[in-house]
Structure 1
């Protein structure tokens, strides 16, 4: 479906960069852009866009103030675009389609647009979205100012990668297949890409990663959710085969713990391939 699209951001360079990227998607029809919430409201009254790319931290009013304007029959899909990770939980509580960190990668932009198309094409989803968004804004508005709690929730669900030079990146723990060491850096692998962060393996394992992550080697950790099977080798070692068919060696030091955790977490079906 053709998406009438509005871009709201107080920085024109950000608007310009996003418009260039959106040229790659023929279903996107950019009908305007605004530098503030008030300007956006004026454009919305005239054009009724069905998709809005929305910055959060803007002078005078934040992007969340604009979301309040959507209560009622008008309910566009919203994709937040921001340089700050700490608003992610907030964004999804108001039922945003997606949350993109600047600078926006073309692949992530495409995924967000596809989600927006799916949501807008469903009348049922649209009605549910209206009800959920209105319920949240009416009943839970105080949560919008509780930044400490929001940041805690973000950290509970995402690995936060920041090195001081590049924008902060949020990598959902559920998407991470494995992590391996490369000198003083960690390579964080998902199905789509690899992220590099400066960290120590021991610190990640002990202080950061949730319980589903298990050490399999002195320089490697896997996410149990993405282990498909174990293939036995000599001397009580194994190859862990991930769901993307990547093979990782499990040293004998860690093999017993990994096998036990997989059996306990995955039950009978997995146990057939471990016996």
Structure 2
């Protein structure tokens, strides 16, 4: 487990590090600490973490400058901040959790449990997915996403405008963030169930899902019964 803490107060950084190590127990865990926005960005470029614990006020620098870049990254982010007025915005950008300062072991453990338990969703409603295009980060409304396809180490967002966009997060990580209306229908597909028209039963006990757009996607055999209950 590779974890990065970006926190400018050394006392709080040490506390986060200690509590995180206690949470993961015997799991091999490497924790790095950066005390500034730029050091954090440089570290991420050199060594992509599995999880980022991010403060939003970094010696006068706004942690949202990192958040806006990192929401499109391949790892999850948990914000740890006293700026609780920013929580709704942070969730909308796609953070896994927002831990308000001051925090205790129980509250941090709840956030870390979300990280290790894919079925647990964030409390806030994610509104955007971020994609990197020509070096720039662009926010895409969740409402514009019809389905998401696994594409190697990336995922491919299929949108109402018909222009697919690559995302750095895996299907598994995106499923943790997305609302419950996004259903895993196949090992390679997450679908906005509101876009489903009907299930197609093919010869040989094979299943497909017809979308309102007219596209047809494969349905895994193990997903058929659950999907059938959701779209009847």
TM-score normalised to structure 2 length: 0.49
More RCO (CA 8 Å, sep 6+) = 2
Structure with greater strand share of residues: 2
Give TM-score scaled by structure 1 length.
0.42
Higher gyration radius (CA): 1
